[in-house]
Amino acid sequence: MLVVDDHEAVRTGVKAALAEEPDLVPIGGVPNAERALDAARLFDPDVVVVDYQLPDENGLTLARRLKALPSEPRVLIFSAYADAPLTVASIVAGADGILAKAGIVDGLTYAIRAVARGCTVRPRVGPATLRAVSERLDPNDSAILGMLLHSTPPSEIAQVLGITEHWLDVRRWAMLRQLTRVA
């Protein structure tokens, strides 16, 4: 797995913790999104652990870009701010999980193993949060959001809505811009 965090101490600590696990093999750590994409193309990691706050772009947009790679690694976002609105945005981004950094020691190895197996790891999102998040989006995107929240595959979403997968990707990027825009 690949660790992406702009703080060297965090990268080093996470890689050291993962190296203690016989079934988890950290292949490296990088400080930003561009280097993460280069490393993912070169090393083809199964899982990429991505900090939300990166110097060149946020972890959600990096997750979208990683998911567009031919090998499509599993992506686990970790953040000091892993709240319900960020959880919804991570789903739109295509991340396979989100974890609060406060739980990194106890929960990181569990979360990595879970997303590597194809499971999702994320906190529950309540109805009030979903309403608040939906209000930030174009009303035409509410069906996309609903299906993403129910883990509907992109090909099925496109088919149900009568759109191309390319157009779905365009809408997801637009949704991410709305959800990560600072008010």
**13 or 148: which carries more pLDDT confidence?**
148
Distances in Å between the Cα of 56 and the Cα atoms of 26, 53, 68, 69, 175 are 23, 9, 18, 19, 20
Report the distance separating Cα 36 and Cα 63, nearest Å. 10
Q: Is residue 122 part of a domain?
A: no
What pTM was computed for the model? 0.92
CA distances 148 to 18, 79, 88, Å, are 30, 21, 9
In a domain, 156, yes or no: yes
pLDDT (tens digit per residue) in 43-99: 999 999 999 999 999 999 999 999 999 999 999 999 888 788 899 999 999 999 999
Is residue 132 in some structural domain?
Answer: yes
Same domain, 80 and 147: no
Q: Which domain holds residue 11?
A: 2-116
Q: Using pLDDT thresholds of 50, 70 and 90, give the confidence band for residue 5.
A: very high
Can you give the CATH number for the domain in which 108 is found? 3.40.50.2300
